[in-house]
A = this chain, B = another copy of it.
Amino acid sequence: MSFIPHTKEDIKEMLEVIGVKSIDELFSDIPKALKPQSFNIPYGKSEFQVTQALHNLSLKNSTGLVNFVGAGFYDHFIPASVDAIVSRSEFYTAYTPYQPECSQGWLQAIYEYQSIICQLTGLDVSNASLYDGGTALFEAMMMAIRQTGRNKIIIDSGVNLIYRTMLYTYTSNLSVEFVEIPVVHGQSSRGELFKCVDDKTAAVILQNPNFFGAIDDYGDVVSRVHKFGALAIASVYPVSLGMLKTPGEMGFDIATGEGQSLGIPLSFGGPYLGFMSVRKELVRQMPGRIVGATVDSDGKKGFVLTLQTREQHIRRQHATSNICSNEALCALRAAVFVSLLGKDGLKELAEHNYQKAEFAKEQLACLQGVEVKRSSPTFNEFTILLPRNADKVVQQMIEKGFACGFPLGRFYKGMDNYLLIAVTEKRTQEEILKFVASLKEVLAC
């Protein structure tokens, strides 16, 4: 099956117009020597065959487990209306709204998305989306380096290790000096941090809640950072912003994060949504597309892509970023999701996550040999210390039908017995109790 409408006659007529005898002639600029040495692709199949085959493959993934794994990527419910909207042809089969007059729907939707991100993070301006939370953090760091002309980056080890690893990868060929701040009792060590901040510091990067689920108020850090003319960058979890103090309230200059929790399916790692918002002074350093409101020749309000002189298609090697295609459709998901929930719905969502996690904590705390880490408050994820290696426990729990959490030993030396547990609004009391009971059994034997 192919999607080509051309009949033999069509092709004949078109070749005549072009003035060539055959389609091959159109490829005559390709030297014989460069013809493919092989092209062993299986022959085409019917829609039924491919759909069937891939449906069978999908059944080889087990999504039946009751999920308590988060680690920055969460199993939230997605209202059906979100899917309905993003499957509108006029949204998903369009491309970047370069031509505003025939793209007002997209442009307004992105403007609304930007506004929502600003509201969530408490900052002034947002861009139209970046690839994911990790690349967004990288872009934020580069902004700080450009803005300050410095190259020392202080990063808390409570920042998701996946993201830290990405930063190291992206900068391996650049001269950036990283200092990692240890986490003490689940929180960023102020002592260490304050020691390191100096006038060579371009930015301090923190995460809230941090990777261990711990909530912090970084206000003190931020003011210290600003004293030295450095920027403060926060990586945040948007659902938590239905409850937690915002980056804006803490004084951060830049907020970034992974938007997956806002109506985007887990989908085995992507497509996701990198968001970024900044103080307005930084807008011309911001990467990515930005939509702005303006008026048409009749004075009627409309929306356009703006401040494009930051971007690669105009500034080329001098652009603030190389990003071109972004994650617009995921940004639309986030906009629809948040609009649907509204102010009160988002609060409720955060509340349910917080309360269910607290409930799970209490239940787990009753388990023999299990220590729930409570040195600092948490949102919907927390760490527990097990009497033995978490890996094995995880394995046994899988057999009982639970993805029971993320073993911290995988990322942190000396934490082999630690388990990171996420509890979202989807987890019912019944599931949580069964989960605790099963864990009890596993630890018993």
Tell me the A residues contacting B by CB distance below 8 Å. Answer: 47-48, 51, 77, 79-80, 84, 87-89, 425-426
Cβ A426 vs Cβ B48 within 8 A: yes
Cβ B47 vs Cβ A80 within 8 A: yes
Identify the closest chain B residue to A426 (Cβ). Answer: B48
Shortest Cβ distance from A337 into chain B, in angstroms?
13
Separation of A89 and B91 alpha carbons in the complex (Å): 14
Separation of A4 and B205 alpha carbons in the complex (Å): 44
- B-side contacts of A89, CB under 8 Å: 84, 88
- B-side contacts of A80, CB under 8 Å: 47, 51
Partner of A77, one of B48, B77, B84: B48
Separation of A87 and B83 alpha carbons in the complex (Å): 12
Interface hub of A48, A51, A426 (most chain B Cβ within 10 A): A48
Shortest Cβ distance from A388 into chain B, in angstroms?
34
Separation of A84 and B83 alpha carbons in the complex (Å): 12
Can you report 9 A-B residue pairs in the complex whose CB atoms are below 8 A from each other?
A: A47-B77, A47-B79, A47-B80, A48-B77, A48-B426, A84-B87, A84-B89, A87-B87, A88-B89
Identify the closest chain B residue to A85 (Cβ). Answer: B89
Shortest Cβ distance from A343 into chain B, in angstroms?
13
- B-side contacts of A88, CB under 8 Å: 89
- B-side contacts of A425, CB under 8 Å: 48
Separation of A425 and B88 alpha carbons in the complex (Å): 31
Separation of A426 and B48 alpha carbons in the complex (Å): 8
Shortest Cβ distance from A215 into chain B, in angstroms?
25
**Besides A47-B77, A48-B426, A88-B89, 7 new A-B residue pairs in contact (Cβ under 8 A), listed by A number:** A47-B79, A47-B80, A48-B77, A48-B425, A84-B87, A84-B89, A87-B87
- B-side contacts of A87, CB under 8 Å: 84, 87
Identify the closest chain B residue to A47 (Cβ). Answer: B79
Shortest Cβ distance from A50 into chain B, in angstroms?
11
Separation of A141 and B330 alpha carbons in the complex (Å): 55
Separation of A80 and B50 alpha carbons in the complex (Å): 12
- B-side contacts of A51, CB under 8 Å: 80
- B-side contacts of A84, CB under 8 Å: 87, 89
Shortest Cβ distance from A62 into chain B, in angstroms?
14
Shortest Cβ distance from A272 into chain B, in angstroms?
21
Shortest Cβ distance from A352 into chain B, in angstroms?
10
Separation of A84 and B88 alpha carbons in the complex (Å): 9
Shortest Cβ distance from A18 into chain B, in angstroms?
28
Interface hub of A77, A80, A84, A89 (most chain B Cβ within 10 A): A77
Shortest Cβ distance from A49 into chain B, in angstroms?
9
Q: Which 10 A-B pairs have the closest CB atoms?
A: A48-B77, A47-B79, A48-B426, A47-B80, A87-B87, A51-B80, A47-B77, A84-B87, A84-B89, A48-B425
Shortest Cβ distance from A59 into chain B, in angstroms?
10
Separation of A86 and B87 alpha carbons in the complex (Å): 12
